[in-house]
Chains A and B, each alone.
Chain A
Amino acid sequence: MTDNTPTPNNLSRRDFLKVAWMFLGGVAALETAGVFISYLQPRLAEGEFGSVIIPGKVDEFPPNSVTHIPNGRFYVVRTNDGGFLAVYHRCTHLGCTVPWDQTAQKFVCPCHNSQFNREGVVENPPAPRPLDLFALIIENGELKVDTGKIIQRQTYETAQVVYP
């Protein structure tokens, strides 16, 4: 049997080339999309927001206090028992900067009236989750906040608090 006509299981040369071209064209399109998407990735700026920021020494923050660090975009929150939290000042609802209301002892968002307590936990929606945190460590009595690491959380746990 030397039958040259293609059977359903046997691709003809023309059909094979058609499929091969389509496959190669698809790969080329994906590669091009990949190049453009990679090219458009955000660049990280050294030494600005996104790097490690030192807001001050442990003693500079009295217990039960909230201090805004504008260039780091966060609040240093010191709890009653002396622990620290670095709370991102960006509302988890739509990104407005949340000011600390000293008289009400709350974070109150001016955009959609979301409210958060001292630890950043939602007291009034529409915010869907507590304020984000930054990784905070204490070295030689100095606070160091890594603003490149945004920590999202669903609840407040004591494990989030860093003690000197």
Chain B
Amino acid sequence: MDEQNTQPEPSIFERMRNRLTPEGVPSDDRGRMRMVMDSLILHIHPAKVEVTSMKWTYTWGLGGLSALLMMVLGLTGIVLLNNYTPAAPQAYLDILEINSNVWFGELIRNLHHWSANLLIVVAVLHLIRVFVTGSYRPPRELNWLIGVVMLLLVLGANFTGYLLPWDQLAYWAITVGTSIISYVPLIGEWIGRLVLGGPEVGANTLLNFYSMHISFIPLAIFGLMSYHFWRVRKDGGLTVPKSSKQTEDPKPERVTTIPHLVHRELIFALGWIAALLTFAMLVPAPLEGIANPALSPNPAKAPWYFMGLQELLLHFHPLVGAIVLPGLAIAGIFALPFFDLNPKSVGVYFRSQRGRSLTVLAIGIALIATPIWVLLDEYVLNWTLWLPTWNTLLSNGLIPLAVVLLPIIFLDGWVHKSFQADTEERVLFIASFLFTAFIVLTVIGILFRGPGMSLYLPWNMPIITH
């Protein structure tokens, strides 16, 4: 008793610190595991992790990087609010002010812009990693669905944010993008007017997009992200990498999360923050002249991540190109874990040795076939001219759709017969083919489409004047 009395009363700060970490950061494994379990933030991790799950070349840190980018976007987004008015034309003038008259304004805007664009790439790569390692199989199907919903929300966040600078680039990309809605049968026109707040992109659209961009979408992403992390732990943590020759499930060594995982994460995050800052200092976010509803630029392009979709629109009736094909693609991605079920190959990159070869084959075929199809459809095939009396939904929609789908069905049958590919390898083959084709279309849209959306070689592109 005497001993305790001689100790000085802890100060308010010491008592607060004791509430957070009672014994400081412990140096023994038991204490470290206890610390992970007792901490609100750290307990998104288990107390111990498999050594091989942390292997850099298995996950590539893509989920963690997505979360980091969300944090950067949240922080830079909140401070951007203080210098921005969601009204036309003030919005554009505010961006000019941020770029020229606000301390570090241009840096913050560049960080926000480039992080948002990088997030799309990283989220898609994360999805691909989970797909090719079969990490969405039971019991992880629900988390796959949540991940896909988050990817759609990230696209929504990017698209609504695209309008906010209110420059020519923003105005026409959003005009082209939102016009697609009106092709939804029956209710399309009505939904389009609701989203735009009128018959065309205007002051109401800016306010609608702003409110979605800063409230509903980030709140939904934050909620789903928290659930996504919790679900990873509930479903038994990360999948464990396995080589295609292993038949037994590996039982890797487990180490404590502190320091092995936490330190890696900190170093990874610091490295990426440094890279983002450097990039944002060197490369300014694009900004064109103020939005002018009377003058469409030539060519008018959608945001780069929708250029694959816009390329489809050049080849198909809008109902097929903008509603049916993307709808089927999204439904297919959602449905993957419900027919690709083999638990044996979870953790094996590309399922098997044969899966690896088939993936390379699919990518190769898509790289060659897609440009040929684009050139054929651009210069040779002209169904609307050959069948002038037919409805354009048939001549420009269903016939070209059949031209594309039949070879894919044939390819699938060929892989099934000639290579004895099983369901999971066929899924991998078709998905690799379609994804590569989509990437090729996106690249053609971004680099090879010039004035009048005609095809040009990138080094012969006429100079575009706005």
Contacts and interface: CB of A to CB of B under 8 A. Distances in A.
Contacts of B324: none
A97 B293 contact: yes
B298 interface: yes
Interface in A6-39: 37
B109 to A, nearest CB: 27
Contacts of A99: 296
Contact of B175 (A37, A96, A125): A96
A40 interface: yes
Interface in A113-131: 113, 125-126, 128
B176 interface: yes
A94 B179 contact: yes
A43 B193 CA distance: 10
Contacts of B293: 73, 97
A95 B200 contact: yes
Interface in B197-211: 197-202, 204, 208
Contacts of B180: 94
Interface string A46-89: 00011000000000000000001010010000000000000001
A153 interface: no
A154 to B, nearest CB: 11
Interface in B163-189: 172, 175-176, 178-180
A5 interface: no
B392 A43 contact: no
Interface residues of A, number: 29
A70 B295 CA distance: 9
A41 interface: yes
Given A42-B193, A125-B396, A97 B296 contact: yes
A111 interface: yes
A144 interface: no
A110 interface: yes
A126 B179 contact: no
A151 interface: no
Nearest to A110: B298
Contacts of B296: 96-99, 109-111
24 contacts: A37-B194, A40-B208, A42-B196, A70-B294, A73-B200, A73-B293, A89-B294, A93-B179, A94-B318, A97-B296, A108-B452, A109-B296, A110-B296, A110-B451, A111-B172, A111-B296, A113-B453, A113-B454, A125-B392, A125-B396, A126-B314, A128-B318, A128-B392, A150-B199
Given A94-B318, A110-B298, 14 more contacts: A42-B194, A42-B196, A42-B204, A70-B294, A73-B293, A89-B294, A95-B176, A97-B296, A109-B296, A110-B297, A111-B298, A113-B454, A125-B384, A128-B392
Q: State the 7 A-B residue pairs at the shortest beta-carbon distance, nearest first.
A: A110-B298, A95-B179, A94-B179, A96-B296, A111-B300, A70-B294, A42-B197
Interface of A: 37, 40-43, 49-50, 68, 70, 73, 89-90, 93-99, 108-113, 125-126, 128, 150
